[in-house]
Amino acid sequence: MNDLRRSKRNPAVAVVLIATAVGAAGALVALRLRFQPPVVPLYALAPDDAGAEERIVPNAAFAITIAPEAPVEGAVALRGFLLHGDDVRPWDPPFAVDRDGTIHVAGRTDALFAGVPDGPWEMAFAVGRPEVLPTAPRDVLRARQANATEAGFRLVRRRIYVAGLGGEPPPGTP
């Protein structure tokens, strides 16, 4: 009988707990947006990295710097993609973020581009608030066409030519 009485009280307690949790989550989101807006400034490749198409060859060092055009407040992260026409591959290069929001990607070409087929590619770096970075490859293709003035992430692109790493060719390539 005691178990029956206890089970009747639990729904009321559960409703109060759920309402409290929803209220607390709403307050945290409001504070987050107040102190760290979801938009980030424009990002661009550092002048040394913004040149012509780079040739990616085996067993070489690779480094690129992506810098904000204005001061950045709050957390930023990077998600990488490799594009070959409409073929988009998720790419997870290691990166480091400076206090001013500058992002550095570096490593050995054999590790960074392992399995990437030879030929022309475009690196696409989505830089912005971690919670709004694109995860679906098609989002990157849409962002490539967009020119938003306020965005939670920015897309920075660089053309490369992969040579000698021996990956499988993209679909539709002869």
**Residue linked to tokens 């009988």:** 1
Is residue 28 located within the same domain as residue 48? Answer: no
> Which residues, at least 6 apart from 73, have a Cβ–Cβ distance to it below 8 Å?
36, 37
Domains in the chain, number: 2
- Contact, 99 vs 115, CB < 8 A? no
Residue 1 sits in which domain range?
1-35
Is residue 147 located within the same domain as residue 88? Answer: yes
Let me know if residue 21 belongs to a domain: yes
Let me know if residue 82 belongs to a domain: yes
Is residue 59 located within the same domain as residue 106? Answer: yes
User: Each residue's pLDDT tens digit in the chain (174 positions)?
Assistant: 555 555 555 677 777 788 888 877 766 665 555 555 578 888 999 887 777 789 999 999 999 999 999 988 888 999 999 999 888 999 999 999 999 999 999 999 999 999 899 999 999 999 998 988 888 888 887 776 665 555 678 899 999 999 987 666 555 554
CATH code where residue 117 lies: 2.60.40.10
pLDDT of residue 74: 86
Q: H or E segment at 172?
A: none
Let me know if residue 134 belongs to a domain: yes
80: alpha, beta or left, given left = phi > 0 and alpha = psi -120 to 50?
A: beta
pLDDT of residue 86: 82
Is residue 72 located within the same domain as residue 133? Answer: yes
| pTM (global) more than 0.85 | no
DSSP codes joined into one string, 83-149: EETTEEEEE---EEE-TTS-EEEEEEHHHHTTTPPSEEEEEEEEEE-GGGS--SHHHHHHHHH---S
Question: Which one, of 124, 39, 46, 24, lies nearest residue 74 by Cα?
Answer: 39
Question: 117-144 in b/e burial notation, b at 16+ Cβ within 10 A?
Answer: beeebbbbbbbbbeeebbeebebbbebe
pLDDT of residue 90: 93
Let me know if residue 138 belongs to a domain: yes
DSSP 29: H
Let me know if residue 112 belongs to a domain: yes
- Contact, 103 vs 153, CB < 8 A? no
Is residue 70 located within the same domain as residue 156? Answer: yes
Is residue 31 located within the same domain as residue 47? Answer: no
Let me know if residue 141 belongs to a domain: yes
pLDDT of residue 151: 67
Let me know if residue 173 belongs to a domain: no
DSSP codes joined into one string, 1-15: -HHHHHHHHHHHHHH
Is residue 90 located within the same domain as residue 127? Answer: yes
Is residue 27 located within the same domain as residue 51? Answer: no
